[in-house]
């Protein structure tokens, strides 16, 4: 059975803007649910770690690091209508990044096969020099760059299934050939980027793969996107490690989006990633929590994802449905653009 680790750091609780959708209840619901279904005891604790400024500079400009630290020292402020810095926010964000780094090291050292980082605030909207979209620092981007400093590691893939496009991750790796960034997201939607024709530039041309899905897509469309595009792209790229920006806000119950994925759909995506990782990179996967704003729905989806990575049989099976014709055409266009026909 795969050795699966869990990172959680209570420092996230100090980053709390009250009546804000990105709040501590998201993580508390996940941990409580995993305890109730007797999964928590089966997961190996990943030790806490705070990312240093040197770590953060792997993906961010010093100006952003200084802005978050200075804003906190002044008592906190809103950086944009969605994104706030409060007393305790810097440590919460830096320790979320540190948890991802610790998880990567444990997976690459062979102590774990898979690690889940149940931390907040999320990160995939944070660009090199801007915090936005609830995100202060980009955990998965820093983790990818950190992984590539390891001896013998040449390629890292990032699979992002948050309902919002990870514009920050895309920008950070836009010209990099050694990081494959694949994103499924609702389009057009916040933050406005991620059209399927956005594929990277220079050495990174073709290493950015966007599946800009229309509103209303559910399990059939998401699983088809994995089967027809993402898994073939991973097989061609042959990563040494797969990182996952796991947003659960494409769930049909989520209040901030318009998709219709169920817990069974998330389980299906996790199972496909586990099987592909076993084929390509000795099963090495690190999952980082991004969005998801209906706590009970996120908790159930995380549970089924964990069970998939543990190799358990499917707990739920998505109903057989036909893929929407507009999505089928999109998938065909993306396959052709990226030479996956």
- Per-residue pLDDT of 27-70, as tens digits, reads 999 999 999 999 999 999 999 999 999 999 999 999 999 999 99
Q: How does DSSP classify residue 227? A: I
Measured CA to CA, the distance from residue 273 to residue 264 in angstroms comes to: 14
Phi, psi of 17 (to 5 degrees): -95, 20
Per-residue pLDDT, 262: 97
Residue among 144, 190, 209, 193 nearest 291 (CA): 190
Find the catalytic residue in 12, 60, 125, 251.
125
Three-class secondary structure of residue 310 per DSSP: coil
Q: Is the pLDDT assigned to residue 319 strictly greater than 80? A: no
**CB atoms near residue 28 (< 10 Å):** 17
Per-residue pLDDT, 79: 98
- Mean per-residue pLDDT, 183-206: 98
Measured CA to CA, the distance from residue 259 to residue 254 in angstroms comes to: 8
Given pLDDT bands bounded at 50, 70 and 90, which one contains residue 268? very high
Residue among 118, 85, 43, 147 nearest 290 (CA): 118
Measured CA to CA, the distance from residue 148 to residue 11 in angstroms comes to: 27
First to last CA, the chain: 35
- Mean per-residue pLDDT, 14-24: 96
Average pLDDT along the chain:
97
- Mean per-residue pLDDT, 246-262: 98
Beta strands in the chain (DSSP E): 4-7, 44-45, 77-78, 84-85, 114-117, 156-160, 179-186, 208-213, 241-246, 285-289
Per-residue pLDDT, 318: 76
Three-class secondary structure of residue 289 per DSSP: strand
Q: Which residues are 77's β-sheet partners?
A: 85
Q: Who's near 197: CB < 8 A, 6+ residues apart? A: 210, 337
- Mean per-residue pLDDT, 86-93: 98
Q: Who's near 313: CB < 8 A, 6+ residues apart? A: none
Which one is predicted more confidently, 1 or 3? Answer: 3
- The answer to whether 135 and 125 are in contact (CB under 8 A) is yes
Alpha helix ranges (H) inside 74-189: 89-108, 139-148, 167-172
**Tell me: the pLDDT tens digits for 125-168?**
999 999 999 999 999 999 999 999 998 899 999 999 999 999 99
Per-residue pLDDT, 201: 98
Kindly report the CA angle at 206 between 205 and 208, in degrees rounded to 5?
Answer: 100
Q: Is 125 a catalytic residue?
A: yes
Residue ranges of domains in the chain, CATH in brackets: 4-337 (3.40.800.20)
Measured CA to CA, the distance from residue 188 to residue 214 in angstroms comes to: 7
Q: Is the pLDDT assigned to residue 105 strictly greater than 90? A: yes
**Percentage of the chain with pLDDT > 70?**
100
Per-residue pLDDT, 302: 98
């Amino acid at each position: 059975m795969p050795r699966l680790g869990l990172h959680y750091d209570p420092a996230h609780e100090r980053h709390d803007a009250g009546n804000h959708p990105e709040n501590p209840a998201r993580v508390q619901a996940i941990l409580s649910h995993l305890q109730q279904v007797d999964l928590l005891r089966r997961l190996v604790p990943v030790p806490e770690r705070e990312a240093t400024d040197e770590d953060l500079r792997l993906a961010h400009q010093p100006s952003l690091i200084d802005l978050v630290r200075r804003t906190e020292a002044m008592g906190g402020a809103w950086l944009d209508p969605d994104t706030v810095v409060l007393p305790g926010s810097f440590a919460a964000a830096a320790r979320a990044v540190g948890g991802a780094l610790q998880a990567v090291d444990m997976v690459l050292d062979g102590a774990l096969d898979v690690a889940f980082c149940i931390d907040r605030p999320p990160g995939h909207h944070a660009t090199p020099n801007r915090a936005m979209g609830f995100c202060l620092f980009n955990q998965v981007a820093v983790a990818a760059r950190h992984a590539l400093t390891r001896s013998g590691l040449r390629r890292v893939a990032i699979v992002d299934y948050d309902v919002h496009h990870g514009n920050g991750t895309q920008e950070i790796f836009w010209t990099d050939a050694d990081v494959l960034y694949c994103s499924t997201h609702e389009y057009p939607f916040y933050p406005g980027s991620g059209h399927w024709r956005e594929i990277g530039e220079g050495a990174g041309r073709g290493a950015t793969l966007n599946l800009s899905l229309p509103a209303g897509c559910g399990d059939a469309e998401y699983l088809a996107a994995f089967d027809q595009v993402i898994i073939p792209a991973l097989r061609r790229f042959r990563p040494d490690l797969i990182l996952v920006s796991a947003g659960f806000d494409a769930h049909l119950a989520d209040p901030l989006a318009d998709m219709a994925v169920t817990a069974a759909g998330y389980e299906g995506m996790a199972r496909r990633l586990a099987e592909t990782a076993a084929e390509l990179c000795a099963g090495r996967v690190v999952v980082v929590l991004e969005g998801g704003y209906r706590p009970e729905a996120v908790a159930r989806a995380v549970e089924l994802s964990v069970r998939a990575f543990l190799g358990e049989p499917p707990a739920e099976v998505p109903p057989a449905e036909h893929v929407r014709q507009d999505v089928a055409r999109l998938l065909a266009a993306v396959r052709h653009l990226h030479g996956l026909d």
